[in-house]
Chains A and B, each alone.
Chain A
Amino acid sequence: MEKFVELQGVGKSFDSRKGRFVALRDVNLTIRQGEFVSLIGHSGCGKSTVLNIVAGLYDPDAGIALCGGREIDGPGPERAVVFQNHSLLPWLTCYGNIYLAVEKVFGQRENKAQLKARCEAALALVNLSHASDKYPHEVSGGMKQRVGIARALAMEPKVLLMDEPFGALDALTRANLQDELVKIVEATQATVVMVTHDVDEAVLLSDRIVMMTNGPAATVGEILEVALPRPRERLALANDSAYHGYRSAVLEFLYQKHLRPAA
């Protein structure tokens, strides 16, 4: 398979009050087209920083970041981002938030009716057609996050980047959205990079799990190939020994090899 996203020797430092802080050093990672990759690691290790470099929101200060064979030069709609706290614009309706993205990406080539159809299809994909005219503050946290996902998917990105998309939700809502995401990803064959700190979420969704060492100067520790067949079913996996094998491998990495000293 083709290398699609590629990080080669990527490093990133931040200037802080206490001086220069090296967040990432020598990160190497390749992601194939249509692959679902999770980044997992302890809080503050640099997962979001990796994602933001792929998004183009941060420039790496060492190494190179490529997407589709070209160097990543700033953010763009072909690398859509689902932000950690939904970041919907509060003065636009759910529909309006998606329309803003759709109009920008397809407005040059398509007419109003086609743009409208795209927005409606995106809302239907996340089961939110009924909330189309509601404002973000009028819907639940889970619904906001679904609108954020719909907005990103509606842009038909080459890569979907998600930063702890379900982190702020309760366990039941999270499970429902994970199941929805499994279906959407299987249907659209999207390339996805997802940051998470939830082991079950990583195993359920990913083709590969990238486990990061602790910072400062964090890097890729191990990569776990998850060979569970798709479609994946949460209930069936609960009694699957392979599933539990992957799960303990990740837990072992996080809590034996790279346990973070209590901060």
Chain B
Amino acid sequence: MLIQQLLNGISLGAVYAIIAVGFALVFNILKFSNFSHGGVLTVTAYAGFLISSKLNLGFVPTILLTAVAGGLIAMGIERVAFRRLRKKGSPIILYFVSSITMGMLLENLITVFFSSNFYSYPKFFEKSSFTIFGLNMAVTDALMLIISIVSLTILMVVIYKTRLGIAIRALSMDTNTTSLMGINVNAVIAATFFVVGCLGGIAGVFLGLNYTLYPQLGQLIVKGFIASVLGGLGNLFGAVLGAILLGVLEVTLTNIPFIGAGLSPVVIFVIMLIFLILRPQGIAGKIVHEKA
């Protein structure tokens, strides 16, 4: 029972991890909390739905195409909402406002085009769950876990082993000096947003599968935010750890009779506050201040 809960928690945490890492990456380079990522989650959840139902594609091609779509959308957001701010050297608070506005805009566009009806993804698999070592696991959960692990691994390789990754890390430390290296900072930021959008697209499909579709789906970005705060803002490994912790915590709390699904968000926030008082830099982070 306990191990079963742990497994469920980790599967849920894997989805949060994908969201949290996308959130953390942007925080890393531009130093603000990018809530427009919620808009990307909503739009890609619907995009994945359209791709799978209209094109009649299977699970993996749907994820891949949606990831690319998410990447392009995030690049578009960066272009429209943040690049001009960067050019003018605007204060961080404006990025924050701009990102929230972008998130709401995307959410409302979805409401306009799909109204507030609920949709759900086609059934991708014959069986909905399987048993392994006496543990019961939903097929989608297992796939989410696998795909999360694969995409996080690819992400870490990109960030820590490639030239683009070095540039992204350099950018997170010092923008001006990065451009003195002959590096096109705008291009690196655009590429980062593409990567972040891909992660958002993958998370969008997962969310759509888990919760059926509604325009406010992207507000689950809050989970990614909590996870990356728990992990230490801007720290990628921390974000993953925070997300797993959050997933396990949620599943556990929901299964405690007098807390249940209703009270668990409250308890989570209380735990987050206590945690931040005790360890403001998060699990893995050094202290970083959002300059807003």
Chains A and B are bound partners: no
Interface residues of A (CB under 8 A from B): none
Interface residues of B (CB under 8 A from A): none
